[in-house]
């Protein structure tokens, strides 16, 4: 059941559809070859091999999957304990400085350079990246305009809201016009409106402006909205990789979304026993569930099971496989194989 | 769909490969200190203090200028006094550094205490290191900021006074006498700048709040000297006095400028009231310079080395490890 782990290395052409108009001469965005990352005795990534082509790539996984560690390793901030890593055709960490000049990084926390205004912050980010002073300031105005930062840019960043800080962080990552944009949970702590705006910008950069993006998130909707390809991580291992359509096709089968009333727990246990692979989109709400029909099983089998379990089915909606299902089934599979 | 301007323009420029990559950090840090945006009180305090801290330098500068210009409105005895003290003028450099050390301490705390502490508190370090910068560049940048302020009150005024002093010397062969002073001026002031800068940054890297860094640093530079001077100087324990960075720096300067030799010569040539005055000054200076040259320089090197170890150790543990080979 679920997706089998992706054989590694994933060939670039198989993992990604051809991306037109993407900048940079490198054939691969990054290549990992048996990458091992450790913090002291704790192994975060036990050995990952993958090759990712340019484009908008989502890095999906639950908290603690090793996404942030992978991003830091790509930047050369964390030295790998083993294996090889090439980013934009350069060896990391040996050529980390070269890579960092071509990469923009938006960290997960709401961190900005303290004690400066918004415009100073972005211009400073450009200057320490190596841009000439005046050019950095001019460019800072441009990118702040792009991310929707108006007169607020002249206010000290210490007074900014979370949403404004996210915009400043994005502008700082963009100021030197990088080839690859690394976004670590860019919608963290944002209200729905702010989240939609940031995602719109990132999608625009990835699709209309030809910038390669690595978007790390545990929010499936964010990744689905922005990215064409996905790397799915769990416990430091790569569980699946490929375009979203490919991955969805792999979990193809008839799925049904149910709203239950009664002893839902009993129904879920019985469904799992009979191979219906039930998932709860919201773990706190056992009445809403998603089941996958085994090959050849009629939809009525679910209803019969519900009758057996004395559970009323209030809603029965056939659904197309989504990234959410890919995610859940892959995680399910990975926990099952361990 | 957002309503703001969605145009993203490409940037065709090239990133500069600076020989000194930390330069933008230094420049932004100095500008930031002068901008003093955090409060009007801070701005007033820093700028007012800057004026006050220039006074000893300006006074010495003015005296050296008088020496050279010799205006007619000054009584002739003044010129005779100038001529008498001319051979011992080197003493003004360590004295000026000592006088300015009070101001240096306050600058260190006002400017240096938050330099790394604030970055640690906000988690800004990965932001620096996600750019083409190494940990060494970051450290050099921070040292550059505080070092610039320290230099403005040690090396720069001393060099200016040296220049005016050399020009003011009425006796023939003035440059020949002035040039040997250049090495002690540069060496002593660089030692002061490095010790003050590295210690405040080390303390700042250990804290997340600048106030705590300031308190620890004041304890090192005020309580420790008081304690060691009290015990060490009174009992002739020069090594103990050298534990205090301030006293060690003064003793190092004392040896570098050969202050004892200058006093010996002065005492040999003078008598009466002048001799008594020289003796009193000599005793006061000796009190703070009870350590030997070796003890003083060992102490200075130890303070700098220890601070550097703390700095690198703490920063390397901030969830980022930068490969030195990446340079």
Element holding A191 (H helix, E strand) = none
pLDDT over 70 (residue B31): yes
CA neighbor of A124 nearest in space, from B5, B110, B23: B23
Share of chain A above pLDDT 70, in %: 84
Mean pLDDT (chain A) is 82
DSSP state of A279: B
Cβ contact, residue pair B131, A125, below 8 Å: yes
CA distance A277 to chain B (A): 38
DSSP 3-state percent helix, strand, coil across chain B (nearest 5)? 75, 0, 25
Mutate to test the interface with A, among B12, B15, B37 (most CBs of A within 10 A): B15
pLDDT over 50 (residue A16): no
Q: Quick one: pLDDT band at residue B41, thresholds 50, 70, 90?
A: low
Q: Quick one: pLDDT band at residue A5, thresholds 50, 70, 90?
A: very low
What is the predicted pLDDT for the residue at A217?
85
Give me the residue from A100, A115, A209 closest to B132, CB to CB: A100
Least confident piece of the model among A174-183, A207-216, B171-180, B228-237: B228-237
pLDDT over 60 (residue B3): no
pLDDT over 90 (residue B306): yes
Give me the residue from B4, B15, B27 closest to A176, CB to CB: B15
Q: Quick one: pLDDT band at residue B236, thresholds 50, 70, 90?
A: low
pLDDT over 80 (residue A27): no
Give me the residue from B6, B114, B320 closest to A146, CB to CB: B6
For residues A231-242, give the mean pLDDT. Answer: 86
Determine the residue of chain B that is closest to A72 in CA distance.
B320
Mutate to test the interface with A, among B132, B315, B324 (most CBs of A within 10 A): B132
Cβ contact, residue pair A129, B38, below 8 Å: no
DSSP state of B229: I
CA distance A127 to chain B (A): 6
Q: Quick one: pLDDT band at residue B235, thresholds 50, 70, 90?
A: low
Share of chain A above pLDDT 90, in %: 28
From chain A, the residues in CB contact with B27 under 8 A are: 133
From chain A, the residues in CB contact with B127 under 8 A are: 105, 107, 111-113, 125, 172
Determine the residue of chain B that is closest to A172 in CA distance.
B127
What is the predicted pLDDT for the residue at A326?
67
- Cβ neighbours, 10 Å, residue B176: 10
Least confident piece of the model among A14-28, A183-197, A278-292, B60-74: A14-28
Determine the residue of chain B that is closest to A23 in CA distance.
B10
Residue B256 in contact with partner chain A when CB distance is under 8 A: no
Determine the residue of chain B that is closest to A143 in CA distance.
B8
Can you spell out the DSSP letters for A60-127? E--TTSSHHHHHHHHHTSS--SEEEEEETTEEETTTHHHHHHHEEEE-SS----TTSBHHHHHHHHHH
pLDDT over 50 (residue A190): yes
pLDDT over 70 (residue A84): yes
What is the predicted pLDDT for the residue at B297?
92
Mean pLDDT (chain B) is 81
Cβ contact, residue pair B122, A112, below 8 Å: yes
Mutate to test the interface with B, among A97, A142, A149 (most CBs of B within 10 A): A97
Element holding A182 (H helix, E strand) = strand A180-184
Cβ contact, residue pair A98, B128, below 8 Å: no
Residue position matching structure tokens 């080839």 = A179
Give CA–CA dist A275/A105, Å, rounded. Answer: 43
For residues B272-277, give the mean pLDDT. Answer: 74
Residue B80 in contact with partner chain A when CB distance is under 8 A: no
CA distance A123 to chain B (A): 10
Residues 119-178, chain B, touching A (beta carbon < 8 A): 119, 121-124, 126-134
Can you spell out the DSSP letters for B129-182? HTSS--HHHHHHHHHHHHHHHHHHTTHHHHHHHHHHHHHH--SS-HHHHHHHHH
- Reported as a single tens digit per residue, the pLDDT across B245-262 is 888 888 888 888 888 888
- Reported as a single tens digit per residue, the pLDDT across A212-235 is 999 998 788 888 899 989 998 888
Tell me the CA distances in angstroms from B150 to A283, B94, B111, B112, one per residue in order.
59, 15, 10, 10
pTM of this prediction exceeds 0.95:
no
Give me the residue from B11, B25, B323 closest to A128, CB to CB: B25
Cβ contact, residue pair A97, B327, below 8 Å: yes
What is the predicted pLDDT for the residue at A6?
41
Number of CB pairs < 8 Å for A and B? 136
Cβ contact, residue pair B10, A177, below 8 Å: yes
Determine the residue of chain B that is closest to A181 in CA distance.
B130
From chain B, the residues in CB contact with A143 under 8 A are: 8
Residues 302-321, chain B, touching A (beta carbon < 8 A): 319-321
Give CA–CA dist A64/A84, Å, rounded. Answer: 22
Cβ contact, residue pair B322, A72, below 8 Å: no
What is the predicted pLDDT for the residue at A13?
38
What is the predicted pLDDT for the residue at A244?
79
What is the predicted pLDDT for the residue at B197?
95
Does B168 or A11 have the greater pLDDT score? B168
For residues A108-129, give the mean pLDDT. Answer: 90
Does B96 or A15 have the greater pLDDT score? B96
Residue B36 in contact with partner chain A when CB distance is under 8 A: no
Q: Quick one: pLDDT band at residue B37, thresholds 50, 70, 90?
A: low
From chain B, the residues in CB contact with A174 under 8 A are: 8
pLDDT over 80 (residue A327): no
- Reported as a single tens digit per residue, the pLDDT across B118-176 is 998 888 888 898 999 988 999 999 999 999 999 988 888 889 888 887 776 666 777 88
Determine the residue of chain A that is closest to B125 in CA distance.
A113
Does B221 or A179 have the greater pLDDT score? A179
Cβ contact, residue pair A130, B18, below 8 Å: yes
Give CA–CA dist A75/A209, Å, rounded. Answer: 22
| Residues A203/A225, Cβ–Cβ less than 8 Å | yes
For residues B192-205, give the mean pLDDT. Answer: 95
Q: Is B285 helix (H, G, I), strand (E, B) or coil?
A: helix
| Residues B327/B136, Cβ–Cβ less than 8 Å | yes
What is the predicted pLDDT for the residue at A215?
93
What beta strand segments (E) does chain B contain?
Answer: none
Q: Quick one: pLDDT band at residue A323, thresholds 50, 70, 90?
A: low
Give CA–CA dist A203/B8, Å, rounded. Answer: 12
CA distance A205 to chain B (A): 8
């Amino acid at each position: 059941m679920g997706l089998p782990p992706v054989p590694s290395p994933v060939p670039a052409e198989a993992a990604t559809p051809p991306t037109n108009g993407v900048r940079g001469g490198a054939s691969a965005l990054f290549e990992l070859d048996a990458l091992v990352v450790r913090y002291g005795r704790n192994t975060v990534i036990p050995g990952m091999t993958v090759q990712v082509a340019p484009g908008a790539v989502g890095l999906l996984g639950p908290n603690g999957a090793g996404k942030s560690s992978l991003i830091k390793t790509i930047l050369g901030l964390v030295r790998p304990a083993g294996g090889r890593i090439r980013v934009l055709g350069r060896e990391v960490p040996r050529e980390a400085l070269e890579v960092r000049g071509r990469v923009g990084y938006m960290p997960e926390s709401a961190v900005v350079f303290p004690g400066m205004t918004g415009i100073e912050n972005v211009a400073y980010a450009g200057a320490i990246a190596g841009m000439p002073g005046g050019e950095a300031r001019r460019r800072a105005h441009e990118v702040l305009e792009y991310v929707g930062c108006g007169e607020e840019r002249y206010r000290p960043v210490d007074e900014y809201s979370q949403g404004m800080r996210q915009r400043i962080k994005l502008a700082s990552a963009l100021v030197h016009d990088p080839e690859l944009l690394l976004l670590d949970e860019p919608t963290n702590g944002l209200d729905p409106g702010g989240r939609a705006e940031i995602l719109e910008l990132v999608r625009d950069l990835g699709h209309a402006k030809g910038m390669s993006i690595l978007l790390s998130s545990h929010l499936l909707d964010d990744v689905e909205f922005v990215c064409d390809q996905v790397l799915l991580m769990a416990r430091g291992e790569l569980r699946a990789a490929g375009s979203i359509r490919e991955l969805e096709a792999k979990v193809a089968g008839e799925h049904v979304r149910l709203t239950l009333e009664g002893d839902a727990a009993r129904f879920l246990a019985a469904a799992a026993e009979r191979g219906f692979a039930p998932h709860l989109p919201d773990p706190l709400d056992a009445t809403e569930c998603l089941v996958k029909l085994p090959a050849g099983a009629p939809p009525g089998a679910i209803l019969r099971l519900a009758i057996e379990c004395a559970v009323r089915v209030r809603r029965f909606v056939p659904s197309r496989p989504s990234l959410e299902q890919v995610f859940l089934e892959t995680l399910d599979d990975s926990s099952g194989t361990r | 769909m957002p309503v703001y301007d969605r145009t993203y323009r490409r940037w065709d420029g090239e990133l500069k490969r600076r020989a000194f990559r930390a330069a933008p950090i230094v420049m932004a840090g100095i500008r930031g200190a002068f901008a003093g945006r955090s409060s009007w009180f801070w701005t007033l305090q820093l700028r007012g203090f800057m004026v006050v801290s220039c006074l000893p330098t300006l006074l010495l500068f003015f005296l050296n200028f008088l020496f050279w210009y010799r205006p007619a409105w000054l009584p002739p005895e003044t010129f005779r006094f100038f001529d008498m003290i001319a051979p011992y003028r080197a003493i003004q450099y360590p004295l000026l550094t000592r006088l300015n050390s009070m101001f240096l301490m306050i600058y260190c705390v006002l400017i240096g205490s938050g330099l790394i502490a604030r970055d640690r508190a906000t988690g800004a370090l990965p932001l620096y290191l996600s750019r083409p910068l190494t940990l060494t560049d970051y450290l050099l940048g921070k040292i550059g900021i505080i070092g610039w302020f320290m230099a403005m009150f040690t090396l720069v005024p001393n060099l200016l006074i040296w220049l005016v002093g050399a020009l003011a010397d009425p006796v023939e062969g003035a440059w020949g006498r002035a040039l040997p002073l250049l090495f002690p001026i540069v060496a002593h002031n660089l030692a002061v700048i490095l010790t003050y800068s590295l210690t405040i940054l080390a303390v700042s890297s250990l804290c997340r709040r600048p106030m705590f860094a300031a308190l620890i640093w004041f304890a090192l530079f005020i309580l420790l000297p008081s304690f060691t001077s009290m015990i060490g100087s009174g009992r002739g324990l020069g090594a103990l006095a050298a534990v205090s960075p301030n006293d060690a720096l003064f003793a190092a300067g004392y040896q570098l400028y050969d202050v004892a030799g200058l006093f010996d010569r002065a005492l040999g040539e003078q008598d009466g009231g002048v001799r008594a005055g020289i003796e009193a000054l000599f005793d006061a200076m000796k009190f703070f310079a009870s350590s030997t040259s070796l003890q003083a320089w060992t102490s200075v090197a130890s303070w700098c080395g220890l601070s550097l170890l703390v700095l690198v150790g703490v920063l390397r543990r901030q969830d980022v490890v930068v490969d030195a080979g990446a340079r």
